[in-house]
A and B are shown apart, each in its own frame.
Chain A
Amino acid sequence: MKQGGQGFVVFFRLGFLEVIGERFGMEAVQDSVMAVSAFLTSSLRSDDAIYHWSDSSLLAVVHSQANEQTLTAAMRRIVDNNRDITIQIGERNIMLRIPMEFEVTPIQNLRAADDLFKLSQARASKW
């Protein structure tokens, strides 16, 4: 079992954003992503951080001493509790449920990948 140690990066992919864009426009898409971000912020610990990663994804940096399996279970619980978000379209408030998938990666794995990348660059420059 992998240990997180210093933390994890959790990548959240959001669904239905294309349909929201077609139905209600890009502003509604941005509002939806913001609403999901607010939901995740309220579900995670105060020292965890959420970043807007792409048009349809969010990235969370989670500080946790838990192992990868436990953190994945905690994230699964948050995603399963995903509640309706509300966005304003014209004068109406519309309730939507945005499906989410996620992927947990220990930060130390990213560091190892980064180290390997730097090493390969250094070697390439020597040759």
Chain B
Amino acid sequence: MASILSLSIPLKRPFGGRIKKMRMRLAPAGWGFLGLIGCGFLLSINFSNNLIFAMTFLLIAIALAGWYFTRVNLGGLAPADWRAEPVFAGQQAVFRLQVENRAAQARHGLRMHASGAQGGGEVSLAPGERAEMALRRPAPRRGRLPRLAVAMHSVFPLGLFEARLGAGELPVCLVYPAPLGAQPLPDQQSNRNAHQWRESGSYTDMRRYAPGDPLSRISWKALARFDELYTKEFDGAQGQAALWLRWSDVRGSAVEDKLSQLCRWVLDAHRLGREYGLELPGTVIAPAGEEPHLRRCLEALALYGLEETTGEQAA
């Protein structure tokens, strides 16, 4: 699970893009404060008491000054892009983004908020400092978590007003089926033995290195000679047969249970270092090993039967 599926969405660019409008509203404490000011007015008018008048006006004045501070508190912040890793159903998807304070003053009490997501704590940023802010979102079902608008909130300093600034959207996050099921990995009773690329066979070719190639295949001699990375290719072996994880092998009838069992198998097979192929109705993924294959298989499981409806959303 080392790789990261990061879908990047262009967010507010610190320069160039249009700066999003900041919205201010009364926080719950602000409503209470408003009531308090009302009380103050009633008292002062009722008793024609100038001291209470003065106090009420000072409260108003402080609230107004605080309004500015709250507003300014969100200025000069440069949020980067949200990142998220796929999760298994039942877990919480964690979204992270970096915020940089480009203003000369410190920023306090910053909080990310999206409906249906739990925010991390409040963050303070010294001038020039960066901090990572996170949002957690429950992922109860496999598939894709839809996008979600996020806003940065701050009630600093008085907590009477709340400033909100759009902070982009949470990206679509892939949710794999929960790995469940007690069935053991199927024996390779099938006669279709998988090809095992990892097993060394006879050398066939040398090609330029591409990211993701196993380190063991890098031709270090070539590196020493040409100062460039080359990958050696072999034709592999027919050694240990690959597993075939088939839809039809899973006992049970419920679709989700079957997918969960397959997911369990895929993870087990990956952990054992076996090569495996996946057969779903309508989808066949040829046996292979390594991370990208795992991801491909899990994605196929996650989106099984859903892609028609969510395809455009994910695009």
Indicate whether A and B interact.
no
Identify the B interface with A (CB < 8 A): none
Identify the A interface with B (CB < 8 A): none
